[in-house]
Amino acid sequence: MINLNVNGQTQPLEVTPETPLLYALRDHLKLNGAKYGCGMGQCGACTVLVDGRPVFSCLFPVSSVGTREVRTLESLGTTERPGPLQQAFIDHQAVQCGYCIAGMIMRAQALLEQVARPTEQQIREHMAPNLCRCGTHKRILAAIRQVADKGQRLNAGALKERA
């Protein structure tokens, strides 16, 4: 039994310690936000935040999470009330198949919580671990810039405030 703090709630899970966080989130907590892409830390589809840092959940054992807070795409908003970055992706229609997008949003969220107004090059370098096969990059960059250009760091506690 392992206690995991996910999206502001601590939950006991029947998983073995080496279980990658990805499967705890998807299979046990039934969250769709983190996607399986490669299982090898090469594509970023599975990106979630652990204490505000982007991690590859496909490689991150649940036992290493400890009491740190895990945040997934679901923490940023809902279809009815999307968060600022989610809204920017909708505004720019920054999706083709969308399979990579959950990971893209989470990695961008981490940057925008840290840096108020990242440059284009900063954004591109920060996003480099995440792959998109559809070629949606230009729109993904535009969506991130829409939020970045507001010049304010994103609020890490957005979920709790809305709740």
Partner 1 sequence: MKPADAPVDKSRRAFLAGSGFMVSFALFGSWRALAGETNTLGATILAPDLPGDLKIDPILDSWIKIDAQGVTVCSGKVELGTGVRTALWQIAADQLAMPLDKFKFVTADTALTPDEGYTAGSHSMADGGTAIYHAAIQVRQMLLEAAAAKLGVPTKSLMLRDGIILSGDGRQMTYEEAAQGVNLHQQAKSVSPQGDPSAYRYIGHSIPRVDIPAKVTGGTAYVQDLRLDGMLHARVVRPPNASAQLKEIDTRAIETMRGVVKVVRDGNFLAVLAEHEWEAIQAMRALRERAQWQLTQTYPTNDTIHAVLKTLPERLYVTTRENNGPVKQVLSNASAASISAPASPTRSLAMTKQYVLHGSIGPSCAVAVFRNDMLTVWTHSQGVFPLRAGIAELLGLPKENVRCIHAEGAGCYGHNGADDAACDAAVLAYRTPNRPVRVQWMRDQEAGWEPLGPAMLTEINAVTDAHGKLQSWHHALWSTPHNSRIVNAGRLIPATLLAHPAAPASPAPIPQPEGDADRNAVPLYRIPSVRVDMHFVTDMPFRTSAMRSLGAYINVTTIEGMMDDLAEQFGEDPVAYRLQHLDDPRARDVIQRAANRFGWNLATPLPEGHGIGFAFSQYKNLMGYCAIALEVKLDKAARSVRIVRVVAAVDCGQIVSPDGLTNQIEGGIVQSSSWTLYEQALVGENGVQSVDWSSYPIARFPHIPAAIEVELIDRPGAPFLGAAEIAQAPTAAALINAIKRVVGWRPLHLPVARQDSPIFA
The 24-43 contact track toward partner 1, x by CB under 8 A, reads: --xxx-xxxx-xxxxxx-xx
Stretch that binds partner 1, among 49-57, 68-76, 111-119, 150-158 (CB under 8 A): 68-76
- CB of 42 or CB of 87, closer to ligand FES: 42
Residues 67-126 that bind ligand FES (CB under 6 A): 95-101
Stretch that binds partner 1, among 13-21, 49-57, 109-117, 152-160 (CB under 8 A): 13-21
Spatial strand order in the sheet of 53-56: 9-13, 2-6, 69-71, 47-50, 53-56
Residue 38 within binding range of ligand FES, rule CB under 6 A: yes
| 114 CB-contact burial (10 Å; exposed 0-12 / middle 13-18 / buried 19+) | middle
Query: Which residue in 24, 49, 20, 55 sits closest to 129, CA to CA?
Result: 55
Stretch that binds ligand FES, among 8-16, 31-39, 107-115, 150-158 (CB under 6 A): 31-39
Provide φ and ψ at 133, rounded to 5°.
-90, -20
61 touches, from ligand FES, partner 1, none (C-beta below 5 to 8 Å by class): none
Q: Is 9 helix (H, G, I), strand (E, B) or coil?
A: strand
Here the tokens at position 2 are 């392992």
DSSP 154: P
Contacting residues toward ligand FES, per CB under 6 A = 36-39, 41-46, 56, 58, 95-101, 132-134, 136
